[in-house]
Amino acid sequence: MNLLNRRSMLKAAGTSAAASNMAAVELLSQPAMADELARSGKNVILLWLAGGASQLETWDPKPGRPTGGPFAKIQTSLPGVEISELLPKMSTRLDETAIIRSLNTKIADHGQGYFLMDRGRRAEPGIEYPHLGAILAHELGQIDSKVPDYVSMYTSTEGRRQGSAGFLGARYNPMFLTDKMIPEDIQLPESISDTDHRDRAALRKTLSQRFAQRMNHAGVGSHENAYERVRGLMASDYLFDIDREPTAMRDAYGPTQFGQQCLVARRLVEAGVPFVKVARAWWDSHGQNFETHRELCADLDHCMSTLLDDLKQRGMLETTLVITLGEFGRTPKINGSLGRDHFANAWSCTLSGCGIRGGTVFGKTDADGQTVTEGEMNAGDLFATIFSALGISPDKEYMVGSRPIPISDFGSEPCSEVLS
């Protein structure tokens, strides 16, 4: 819908809406909502390549060109599809994966690029947009979930931003793991026995009930909802404990932190956590791009392929979408320090599993990788594609005050070619 049509439509519909002052986004306390939320059984793992991975050393190699760098390309199991030799394991595992080579997101600054690829739209003063994890926790999670509905692992300090659930509300903020492999405050403190901890919670509830009932207020309700979830979340602490996995499985994921976090991610989605983000830093290779990518791509290749194998073997890949994405790609031009700089005009990402037409390569860049020549997509289009893959209508709207906000940015379109 073009802007003018949209506006006149809003104008016709909107005046009365503005006057009626609809307050919240959606009311948490409505039981009907909870029923609707219990529906999906779909999950997402986002492998976040923080700092911006090079498309030329991963999914869109250009060997032999001035921009190509020293690495070769290898034939994948898909006829006619070649990727960088730095991803040998992934080259044989593209059956459930779609490669998108035509992202043009324009913003090549870490802060704003992160914002854009985290929220699928640019920042706008006066409104706080939620990030992908919060949207998907909201869309795919259950209101009274016994497990976390949004876990974000970001151990490195470089580029770490917690983000916010914005207008969706703090209910959808992530459990944010920065130091340890397990969320803060999820384990029973030594100073209290499990029985006393449980009884204490019951006493709290007794002392709260009358107030909560008489006040009959959504905010007070969210307080009680948060405390109701505490014991359940504490009981999910084992999900973060990879020692409970067989040795063979731990060995398969390997000893790197990224590998271990991918294993935690798989354990979480298996238990019903709708959205898990695992950040791997720091791809920002302004100098020594090739050494950096030799090391990081090996980790990515191993962990991503193990994760996909594991999900597939467990029959979970059909309901789990794995997204491999960063804030931007890197310049085709190789700078004086053998580095590649920030570049957002023609870069790549992948989508695997749930709702994705595997074995697809979508979009093209020119011979040197400077521009997109076919199938250009922006951040909004990518988000619309992600929502569609998960069965969420990309046209869905949230009401924020009196203003309708589409779940994916105005004017964005899902890419049907990569959807199954």
Chosen residue from 109, 158, 184, 295 binding another protein by CB under 8 A: 184
How many helices, marked H, and strands, marked E, lie in the chain? 11, 16
- Asked if 178 touches another protein (CB under 8 A), the answer is no
Interaction of residue 32 with another protein, rule CB under 8 A = no
Establish if 255 lies at the interface with another protein (CB under 8 A): no
Nearest distance in Å: CB 190, another protein: 8
Contact pick of 19, 31, 32, 79 for another protein (by CB under 8 A): 19
| Side-chain-side CA neighbours of residue 16 (13 Å) | 3
In the complex, the smallest distance separating the C-beta of residue 212 from another protein, rounded to whole angstroms, is 6
Report if residue 125 touches another protein, rule: CB under 8 A: yes
Evaluate whether 302 touches 280 at the Cβ level (below 8 Å).
Answer: no
Choose which of 10, 181, 271, 338 interacts with another protein (CB under 8 A): 10
For residue 180, give every residue at least 6 positions away whose Cβ sits within 8 Å of its Cβ, in sequence order, or none. Answer: none
Provide CB contacts within 8 A for 188, sequence distance 6+: 194, 197, 234
- Position among 74, 81, 181, 188 found at the interface with another protein (CB under 8 A): 188
Element (H, E) at 282: none
Q: Which of 142, 156, 178, 208 binds another protein (CB under 8 A)?
A: 208
| Given 7, 39, 314, 396, the residue binding another protein (CB under 8 A) | 7
Return the number of other C-beta atoms located less than 10 Å from residue 17's C-beta. Answer: 15
Bond prior to 59 in cis (omega within 30° of 0) = no
Pair of tokens at residue 30: 């409505």
Is 81 a binding residue for another protein by CB under 8 A? The answer is no
* Gap between the Cα atoms of 383 and 414, Å rounded: 8
What separation in angstroms does the CA of 293 have from each of 117, 283, 327, 328? Answer: 21, 8, 16, 15
Contact between 201 and another protein (CB under 8 A)?
yes
Binding site for another protein (CB under 8 A): 3-4, 6-7, 10-11, 14-15, 17-19, 21, 23-25, 28, 124-127, 148, 169-171, 173, 175, 183-189, 191-192, 196-197, 199-201, 203-204, 206-208, 211-212, 214-220, 222-227, 229-230, 233-234, 401-403
